[in-house]
A = this chain, B = another copy of it.
């Protein structure tokens, strides 16, 4: 089920954003993206996400790139596919998601922090809003992937998991393998 969707995290500003950036990475994995690209972040964030993949299964790629956002986006457009930018100012997800899903090119879903460069809006193939309210790039990414996969990502199976949860009404049930 996992399609050619990668996530690019913009606007990480060390320390204060560490947990948010980690959550973004874990959501990308859990909700069916193939991987995430970070720009110049602390190595321990990547490591934390890789450890989750190691324990709970994959595949999921993480990569730290030491280039600026524009180079990455221009290169993606030239050699890989399209850019989908999640922003509260964009077209409501439910109006545009079918068109995005039908487009079979590889997708880079770009999520920023509070401020993103203006130019990103024109470089993106789609500017998509997940509500037109301020909230969270973590939530925006989850809802976007959920709409894209039409909810099927909720039951996504991961390969080579050392730990698997058996859903239960009360308490915790985990199988180790």
Residues of A within 8 A of B (CB): 16-20, 23-24, 26-27, 29-31, 52, 56, 88-94, 118, 121-122, 124, 127, 129-136, 138-139, 141-143, 146, 151, 153-156, 158, 164-165, 167-174
Contact = CB atoms under 8 A, between A and B. Distances in A.
One complex includes copies of this chain to the number of 2
A135 B30 contact: yes
Given A20-B19, A146-B146, A131 B92 contact: no
Contact of A19 (B19, B130, B165): B19
A135 B16 contact: no
Going nearest first, the 4 A-B pairs with the smallest beta carbon separation are A139-B142, A23-B136, A132-B165, A30-B133
Contact of A170 (B121, B129, B132): B121
